[in-house]
Amino acid sequence: RAAEAHAVLDAARAALKLQGVKVGPDSPVGLWGYSQGGGAVAAAVELAPEYAPDLKLAGTYAGAPVADLAATLSQVDGTFLTGVIAYTVNGLKRTNPELIPIIDASTNDNGKAVLAAAENQCIVESALTIGFHRTNEWIATGQSLSDYLKNIPEAQEVLAENRVGNRTPTSPVYVDTSTGDDIVPYGQAEQLSREWCGRGANVTLNTQRLPFILPGLALSHVLPDFIGLTGGLNWLDARFRGQPTAGTCA
């Protein structure tokens, strides 16, 4: 969460300092992301008041945001994109080295090989090699990773720390999510919106009520990105034009 947020906000700062462009330190900034990118910009907008108060955020579009790693882990396990779980575990080994002994003790030889291979893979390669496998193939006890982590207090603490929604955005946010998303659960995106609303943030929740299409293939995850594109662009354009938005919290 924090690493993604810092990367997004630092990228915006860098863009404002480029030579030969029409933007400068006082230019409005918009954040846009989908899926992991949605989680990254969601983490960024709620951390901005603390980490980047110098940025003038006009609005943030967070599509299918990964706000709750635990909920997403449970849903993505066994799908075409199972490999993203390996990416997350490898990332947590870097940010939380205290987890390394736990990960090493809990994974079998196959799990260790998968994690090592995923270090050097991109999403298509992981999908073709790890896709549709389940994490119980990696865990020494034969449990799914989701079930196994429920009994590891240290892991639960890390998952809680990486949840997006515990801080308050001070600029408008547009959350776009689908009820039929087979990769990033709708429920945790809706929960993120409710938590932000409860803290007084200006949030517009756009729910695409779509069915699951061939669950596990990620089609139901990718299609809403294209379906919601126009609405998201129009919303962000209005923010750049200085038009107010009341959001949907009420």
> How many whole angstroms separate alpha carbon 6 and alpha carbon 43?
9
Shared domain for 175 and 64, answered yes or no, is yes
Residue 250 within a domain: no
Beta carbons within 10 angstroms of residue 32's beta carbon? 17
Tell me which residue range forms the domain holding 138: 76-161
Q: What is the mean pLDDT of the chain?
A: 96
Shared domain for 50 and 83, answered yes or no, is no
175-187 mean pLDDT: 98
- Which of the four pLDDT bands, split at 50, 70 and 90, describes residue 54? very high
Count of the separate structural domains present in the chain: 2
- Which of the four pLDDT bands, split at 50, 70 and 90, describes residue 15? very high
Note the pLDDT tens digit of each residue in 218-245. Answer: 999 999 999 999 999 999 999 999 999 9
Shared domain for 94 and 153, answered yes or no, is yes
- Which of the four pLDDT bands, split at 50, 70 and 90, describes residue 92? very high
> How many whole angstroms separate alpha carbon 246 and alpha carbon 250?
9
Which residues are 57's β-sheet partners?
Answer: 29
> How many whole angstroms separate alpha carbon 97 and alpha carbon 153?
15
Q: Closest by alpha carbon to 43, among 62, 16, 58, 71?
A: 62
Residue 166 within a domain: no
Residue 190 within a domain: yes
Shared domain for 137 and 25, answered yes or no, is no
What local confidence, expressed as pLDDT, does residue 81 receive? 97
What local confidence, expressed as pLDDT, does residue 183 receive? 98
Shared domain for 87 and 156, answered yes or no, is yes
pLDDT of residue 1 exceeding 90: yes
> How many whole angstroms separate alpha carbon 194 and alpha carbon 192?
5
What local confidence, expressed as pLDDT, does residue 182 receive? 97
What local confidence, expressed as pLDDT, does residue 250 receive? 84
160-189 mean pLDDT: 97
pTM: 0.95
140-151 mean pLDDT: 96
